[in-house]
Amino acid sequence: MTQTTPLIDPNLTDALQHWNQYCAESRQNALILLNAITPLKDQIQVTGQLLESAQKTNWLEASTKFTDPTTLAGAFGELADIQIAALGKMQEGYSAFLKTAQASGDQLSKLGKDVDSPQALLAASLETSLNILKQYEADATEEASSMSTIQAAYRAWLQKNLLALGGA
What does the pLDDT look like over 34-78, one tens digit per residue? 777 777 787 888 888 888 887 887 877 777 777 788 888 999 999
DSSP state of 7: S
- Statement: residue 167 has pLDDT above 80: no
| Residue 90: band (very low, low, confident or very high) from pLDDT cuts 50, 70, 90 | very high
- What mean pLDDT value characterizes the chain? 87
Which residue type, as a one-letter code, is found at position 131?
Answer: N
124 or 6, higher pLDDT: 124
Is there a contact between 124 and 111 (Cβ–Cβ < 8 Å)?
Answer: yes
- Predicted model pTM: 0.77
* CA 120 and chain centroid, separation: 34
Instruction: State how far the Cα of 96 lies from the Cα of 102, in Å rounded to an integer.
Output: 10
Report the chain's C-alpha Rg in angstroms. 26
To 10 degrees, the CA torsion angle through 135, 141, 142, 145?
A: 180
What's the mean pLDDT in 87-112? 95
pLDDT at 106 > cutoff 90:
yes
Residue 33's pLDDT band, with cuts at 50, 70 and 90, is confident
Q: What is the pLDDT of residue 127?
A: 96
Q: What is the pLDDT of residue 153?
A: 94
For residue 135, what are the contacts with CB-CB under 8 A and spacing of at least 6? Answer: 100, 103, 104
Burial pattern 10-28, b for ≥16 Cβ within 10 A else e, equals ebbeebeebeeeeeeeeee
pLDDT over 80 (residue 15)? yes
Q: What is the pLDDT of residue 94?
A: 96
Residue with the bigger pLDDT between 28 and 150: it is 150
113 SS3 class: coil
- Residue 167 main-chain phi, psi, to 5 deg: 70, 15
